[in-house]
Structure 1
Amino acid sequence: MRWSIALLAVALVACTPSPVLPTGGVDASDLDGDGACQAAPAQTLLHQAASDELAEAILKASGARTLRWGGPDTVFTMDYREDRVNVIYDADGTITRITCG
């Protein structure tokens, strides 16, 4: 009986849908100013769930024109863009880092 309850619990966890996490990038073409990224103001948005709605808030707070999402094990190019904010999230979709570049 205990084994069947344990197997049922494992099966239910395996069937739980994973959250859909953002990937790729977001552009803000209607931004005022020069678009230079300032990561400090966006740090208040750390530890929240990554989402498209939050992307808009991060772009606005940072002043960047472009946002680049990065999940666990994501490989980034090393090109530096002063108008881009990088948002890194963990396997649970929680934002862990916000940097410029």
Structure 2
Amino acid sequence: MERRRKHLFALASPLLVTTMLAIGACAATPAEPPATANPAPGSCDASKAQFAIGHDAGLAIQDQARERSGAGVVRTVRPGQIITMEFRADRLTLELDASGKVTRVRCG
């Protein structure tokens, strides 16, 4: 009887682990947080930096956009550039075209 119990446990353990991994894999990936009407201090509000679209992304535009949005940092992203995908509520991202003009402004 003891031998049978060990055999059942040996079969059940991998099944339990596999089931737990499958359940974990089904968990939803968090989406980008929605923009809020009143962002928390130190966070970014991209709506206040939309003026930058169409401008060259020089240091003056980057500084103005960062200040108006309330972001702590600003980054520029060129077409095809590899970037990190973690969301930072205090970061303003200026997406550029090939000529260096701002095409999109977003937080994260």
Q: TM-score, normalised by structure 1?
A: 0.65
Work out whether 1:88 is the aligned partner of 2:100. no
Q: Aligned-pair RMSD on alpha carbons?
A: 1.2
Query: Between the two proteins, what is the percent identity of the paired residues?
Result: 33
Partner deviation per Cα, 1:20-65 (whole Å, 9 max, x = no partner): xxxxxxxxxxxxx821000001111210011011111011111000
Q: Select 2:70's aligned residue among 46, 63, 73.
A: 63
- Residues in 2 aligned to 1:83 and 1:91: alpha-carbon distance in whole angstroms: 26
Q: TM-score, normalised by structure 2?
A: 0.61
Work out whether 1:37 is the aligned partner of 2:66. no
Structure ranking higher in helix proportion: 2
* Residue of structure 1 equivalent to 2:80: 73
- Secondary structure of 1:87's counterpart equals strand
- Residues in 1 aligned to 2:60 and 2:47: alpha-carbon distance in whole angstroms: 19
Structure 1, gaps ≥5 residues long: 1-32
Structure 2, gaps ≥5 residues long: 1-39
Structure ranking higher in strand proportion: 1
Partner amino acid, structure 2, of 1:79 = E
- Residues in 2 aligned to 1:96 and 1:57: alpha-carbon distance in whole angstroms: 16
Greater C-alpha Rg: 2
Structure possessing the higher relative contact order (Cα contacts under 8 Å, 6 or more residues apart): 1
- Residues in 2 aligned to 1:82 and 1:64: alpha-carbon distance in whole angstroms: 8
- Residues in 1 aligned to 2:75 and 2:104: alpha-carbon distance in whole angstroms: 12
Give the ranges of 4+ consecutive aligned residues of structure 1 lying more than 3 Å apart after TM superposition: none
